[in-house]
Amino acid sequence: MSTTTAPAIRVQGIEKSYGELHVLHGVDLDVAPGSIFALLGSNGAGKTTMIRILSTLLKQDAGTATVAGADVATDPVRVRESISLTGQFAAVDEILTGKENLVLVARLRHLRDADRIADDLLARFSLTEAGARRVATYSGGMRRRLDIAMSLIGQPTVLFLDEPTTGLDPEARIEVWQVIKELATQGTTVLLTTQYLDEAEQLADRIAILHQGRIIADGTLAELKALLPPAIVEYVEKQPTLEEIFLALVGTGSKNEPSEDLS
């Protein structure tokens, strides 16, 4: 993790309403550079609204937010140069091949050597063998990996992932988790929203719980566990979880296997 003291993301007193509906009520949070920060909350808690404000897609009603040192309200262009955003559903073109999707984004960003950039990202995300196939043949995990690969074109320093594993099966979720962990080890700051408790537990260096538009807890997993009374230790025979059973039965499989639906 980076030793830089200035936060990659700083949010102070952010408020947002839609008419009479108050969505965010004075949200404060800091995200350290090169870390994975999970914004955890149920549906309607305000997670996506927070991401939209930080990515300059929506203006707050009050408060301030900076991303990579730039103010999201007064310097949105500089913020956009530093970030990338991956939404809840993979924004890939199913008619194009995996490589064509990557080349298209690289050219839209006016980058030189789009072919090399695409090939490098296909290799990085274990999609080289599938690069020449139409995305319509990809599994859910492959599409999400391609989506994240597309978001890294231009080397953003901050990556926003809005519920990145929504709708994925257990194997695909683990594939995406591995990608996110690798990004952080390479210095990318990741802010992800999720409603999955295990996802935040597996990935995050720090977790904030957003409830009814307010941050009600913010800390490391150990710090959050310390908020509850110590557990009573009893001997209980550990039983495998359903996810462990599923993965044991189906095996790891190949990352590049096509999905069953080839339409």
Which range marks the domain in which residue 187 is found? 9-250
Selected residue with higher pLDDT from 100 and 246: 100
Does residue 161 lie in a domain region? yes
Q: What is the pLDDT of residues 113-148, one digit of tens each?
A: 999 999 999 998 889 999 999 999 998 889 988 998
Name the helix (H) or strand (E) containing 76. helix 76-82
Of all residues in the chain, the percent with pLDDT exceeding 90 is 56
Q: What is the pLDDT of residues 207-247, one digit of tens each?
A: 999 998 999 999 998 888 888 777 677 777 777 776 776 67
Does residue 195 lie in a domain region? yes
CA-CA distance, 159 to 156, in Å (whole number)?
7
Asked if pLDDT for residue 51 goes beyond 90, the answer is: yes
Does residue 1 lie in a domain region? no
Does residue 153 lie in a domain region? yes
Single-letter amino acid, residue 61: D
pLDDT of residue 197: 86
Which of the four pLDDT bands, split at 50, 70 and 90, describes residue 174?
confident
Spatial contact of 118 and 192, defined as CB atoms under 8 Å apart: no
What CATH number does residue 25 fall under?
A: 3.40.50.300
* Domains contained in the chain, number: 1
